[in-house]
Chains A and B, each alone.
Chain A
Amino acid sequence: MAKKIGFLVNSDRCIGCHACELACKNEYQQEPEIRWRKVYPLKEDSFGRVARGFASLACNHCEDPACLKACPVIAYTKREDGIVMHSKERCIGCKNCMLACPYKVPEFNKKTKKVEKCHMCAMRQDKGEKPACVAGCPMEAISVIDIADDVAGAERSLPGFPNAAITNPTTRFIKPVVGRQVRRDA
């Protein structure tokens, strides 16, 4: 059975520098408002002590994708390895997938009047290369893993991440650990 892959987002290593987001734009030279990968700031007190934390998210390539179900023209297909592909040719720009996706991943391109989203650099991975965001991350904070093997400390969600039960995303997270703090505002 082909291995099912997904993103591992290690927010403990991530320093919120947006290199992944810009590496993706640089690879595909997209329009500025199109952001296939976004670095979301986490609420500062979501891990006990206050800290600046981030989660870098693109498409979660869900196991039962809401976009695929909602799309009236079958523009979405899920590959053997789990990557959810979107076909530019089939899309008619009805934006139904944008409503259905709990993670607001599909984006409407005003020029092509169609929706587009991250495809986990399927072509690069087929050539054995890492996705542009993974290759571009200076902290090696994001990687592609086989979701079958359990990575130490990997969880299915982060505080603030929409309920994973809806579409069963393949993205796995590692929570940041915040060290001891000697503060003067107690």
Chain B
Amino acid sequence: MSNRTFDRRTDLAKRYSLYSLFKQYYQGDWELARKAATAIQQYEPVNDNLSSQQDQNLDAAALFEYNRLFVGPGKLLAPPYESAYRNAQGLVMQEETLLVRQFYLQAGIEVSNKNAIPDDHLGLEFEFICYLLSREGERLQADDSSTANRYAALYQEFCQQHILSWVYQHCDDILAHGKTGLCRDTAISLVRFLQREEANFLSKEEFV
């Protein structure tokens, strides 16, 4: 196994685990989200150590803020839906959501609770990416690099067409409304990670 594929696999593994942590963070359950957020800090430390000390009541505030930003029941301050940023009033199940549904279908995937949870929920979009990366990793293991490259291309296309078109704005909303360290740090880490991915796409242009 040439060291180039080896580096690619370890890099892929790191990105894969980061994406699965973000997926866990966005799937709405606070306990999982909190664990994911602290784990993310190991991978993408936001080094201003001021916000790293977490005491108990700060933790409760983080929970309420997490719900105010992403869950409800009032108007979401940073709605984790692509359509919230792509159509003026953030209506779900519109054209944007259905574009994401078609993309999933292209890769043979659909939302299990179809038409109940909008397809463009960030938790689901990250899960789709985890699936693509895992397929790429598995194909690399099986030394079938041509299929692996195609999964990588599909991932890049999905990232550029969907994730990068709104998640930065979504993170801005978090930073604008979020006060507690936890949600803010996760948003900063997400932005940094996606920026690296984006840079990665550009440099990969010549590579593929």
Contacts and interface: CB of A to CB of B under 8 A. Distances in A.
Are A and B in direct contact (Cβ within 8 Å)?
Answer: yes
Interface of A: 29, 31-33, 110-111
A12 B104 CA distance: 53
Contacts of A29: 94
A31 B94 contact: no
In the complex, the 7 A-B pairs of residues with the closest C-beta atoms, listed nearest first: A31-B88, A32-B89, A111-B88, A32-B88, A29-B94, A31-B89, A111-B87
Contacts, number: 10
Contacts of B87: 31, 111
Interface of B: 87-89, 94
A134 B88 CA distance: 27
Nearest to A32: B89
B88 A110 contact: yes
10 contacts: A29-B94, A31-B87, A31-B88, A31-B89, A32-B88, A32-B89, A33-B88, A110-B88, A111-B87, A111-B88
Nearest to B89: A32
A111 B86 CA distance: 8
Contacts of A33: 88
Nearest to B88: A31
A29 to B, nearest CB: 7
Nearest to B94: A29
Nearest to A31: B88
Contacts of A32: 88-89
Contacts of A111: 87-88
Given A31-B87, A31-B89, A32-B88, 7 more contacts: A29-B94, A31-B88, A32-B89, A33-B88, A110-B88, A111-B87, A111-B88
A110 B88 CA distance: 9
Most buried by A among B87, B88, B94: B88
